[in-house]
């Protein structure tokens, strides 16, 4: 089965990517204005990955990720204001201000974090898939991992269990080529991370993550098949982060040319070009959209800013179920 994306769908994906771009820019601005502190990892440059993949999910699918997950949380249905609120450490944040940038959670939206320990989400994702199979639900569990997370023992163990027990986990490697300042080639023996699946006899493939069209069209049949067979799948998405690892990283380990070669294939520009070529959308419309998106982001930030900080007693709640 092959899927072709419609222009209308691409337009809505474009809007979503634009929203994440502006959202993360605003987050960085808030950080540099010292509205919050700690670590802050953004997805600028990688927007097509979660938009293309999560555009295929249903409310009852699970999503798990690492510490770079603001946009994935929003894509799973969390309000942008509750994610921004969490960043600011507000009581209205999606984790009541107790989690912060690395720990977005929503049971309601089946977003199981936001994990700060590299690769630690992989066994949890397998557990969520185990639950689905146990309850005979035809949903899947999506597990985002960074390229560097592929060298964690827990990830190998998780993949083997998913394979041997045939559990519906879609392992998505967001391969942006770097784990902090280390290029993946310096710490990994395989030339393509998708090959790791061979060790588990797991279905796998790689896709261009700079194009939301590629991600979506490539993943549609994968997700559909997983919902039928319940078998796991390893997908490598080749992408690039434009910013440093976190706000404090100047990114001196890579060249300007390398960055620019990816920016030339920017997911937003690619989508824009297709939309304009289709003649269904005008430049004006896209500019209006940009304004609308900016307003939406601003509103989310304002809502978060005006929310209260948690009461001190909050520090002592939620250690146990009461």
Partner 1 sequence: MALLTMREALGEAMAEEMRRDSSIFLMGEEVAEYDGAYKVSKGLLKEFGSSRVIDSPISEGGFAGLGIGAAMTGLRPIIEMMTWNFGIQAFDQIINNAAKMRYMSGGQFKVPIVFRGPNGAAHMLAAQHSQNVDPLLANIPGLKVVSVSTPYDAKGLLKSSIRDDNPVIFLESEMLYALKGEVPEGEYLIPLGEADKKKEGQDVTLVTWGKITHKALQAADECEKLGISVEVIDLRTLRPLDEEAIFRSVRKTNRCVVVEENWPFASVGTHIADRVQRECFDDLDAPVIRVSQEDVPVPYAENLEEEVLPSVEKIVRAIQTVSYRI
Ligand X SMILES: Cc1ncc(C[n+]2csc(CCOP(=O)(O)OP(=O)(O)O)c2C)c(N)n1
Q: Contact positions toward partner 1, by CB under 8 A?
A: 36-39, 86, 89-90, 95, 97-100, 102-103, 115-119, 148-149, 151-154, 179-182, 186-188, 253, 309-310, 312, 314-316, 319
Token code pair at residue 208? 């261009």
Determine the Cα angle at 60 with ends 172 and 86, to 5°: 75
Residue 134 touches which of Mg ion, partner 1, ligand X, none (CB < 5 to 8 A by kind)?
none
Residue 123 touches which of ligand X, Mg ion, partner 1, none (CB < 5 to 8 A by kind)?
none
Distance CA 225, CA 116 (A): 31
Nearer to partner 1, 64 or 220 (CB): 64
Contacting residues toward ligand X, per CB under 6 A: 68, 116-118, 146-149, 174, 176, 178-180, 245
Residue 315 touches which of Mg ion, partner 1, ligand X, none (CB < 5 to 8 A by kind)?
partner 1
Kindly report the three-state secondary structure assignment for every residue of 109-167: CCEEEECCCCCCHHHHHHHHHHHHHHCCCCCCEEEEEECHHHHCHHHHHHHHHHHHCCC
Candidates 229, 231, 230, 204; CA nearest to 219 is 204
Token code pair at residue 217? 């069209």
Nearer to partner 1, 77 or 310 (CB): 310
Residues 69, 72, 77, 82: what is their CA dihedral angle, to the nearest 10 degrees? Answer: 30
Whole-number minimum distance, CB 127 to ligand X, in Å?
A: 18
Nearer to Mg ion, 147 or 236 (CB): 147
Nearer to partner 1, 82 or 139 (CB): 82
Q: Using CB atoms, what's the residue nearest to ligand X?
A: 146
Whole-number minimum distance, CB 59 to partner 1, in Å?
A: 27
Residue 68 touches which of partner 1, Mg ion, ligand X, none (CB < 5 to 8 A by kind)?
ligand X
CB–CB of 87/100 below 8 Å? Answer: yes
Nearer to Mg ion, 24 or 272 (CB): 24
Contacting residues toward Mg ion, per CB under 5 A: 146-147, 176, 178-179
Candidates 14, 17, 39, 15; CA nearest to 28 is 39
Distance CA 303, CA 287 (A): 24
């Amino acid at each position: 089965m092959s899927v072709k994306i419609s222009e209308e769908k691409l337009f809505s994906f474009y809007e979503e990517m634009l929203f994440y771009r502006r959202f993360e820019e605003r987050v960085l601005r808030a950080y540099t204005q010292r509205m919050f502190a700690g670590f802050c990892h953004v997805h600028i440059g990688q927007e097509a990955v979660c938009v293309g993949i999560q555009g295929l999910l249903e409310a009852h699918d699970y999503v798990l990720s690492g510490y770079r997950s603001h946009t994935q949380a929003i894509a799973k249905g969390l309000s942008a204001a509750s994610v921004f609120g969490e960043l600011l450490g507000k009581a209205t944040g999606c984790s009541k201000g107790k989690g912060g940038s690395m720990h977005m959670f929503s049971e309601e939206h089946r977003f199981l974090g936001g994990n700060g320990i590299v690769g630690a989400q992989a066994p949890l994702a397998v557990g969520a898939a185990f639950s689905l199979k146990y309850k005979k639900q035809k949903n899947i569990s999506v597990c985002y991992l960074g390229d560097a997370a592929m060298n964690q023992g827990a990830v190998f163990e998780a993949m083997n269990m998913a394979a041997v027990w045939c559990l519906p986990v879609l392992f998505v490697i967001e391969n942006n080529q770097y784990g902090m300042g280390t290029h993946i080639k310096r710490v990994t023996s395989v030339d393509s991370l998708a090959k790791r699946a061979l060790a588990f006899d797991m279905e796998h493939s790689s896709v261009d993550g700079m194009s939301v069209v590629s991600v979506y069209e490539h993943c549609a049949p994968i997700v559909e098949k997983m919902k039928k067979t319940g078998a796991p799948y390893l997908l490598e998405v080749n992408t690039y982060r434009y910013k440093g690892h976190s706000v404090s990283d100047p990114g001196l380990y890579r060249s300007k040319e390398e960055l620019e070669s990816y920016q030339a294939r920017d997911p937003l520009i690619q989508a824009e070009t297709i939309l304009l070529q289709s003649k269904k959308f005008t430049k004006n419309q896209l500019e209006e959209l940009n304004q609308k998106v900016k307003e939406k982001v601003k509103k989310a930030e304002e809502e978060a800013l005006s929310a209260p900080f948690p009461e001190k007693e909050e520090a002592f709640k939620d250690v146990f179920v009461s």
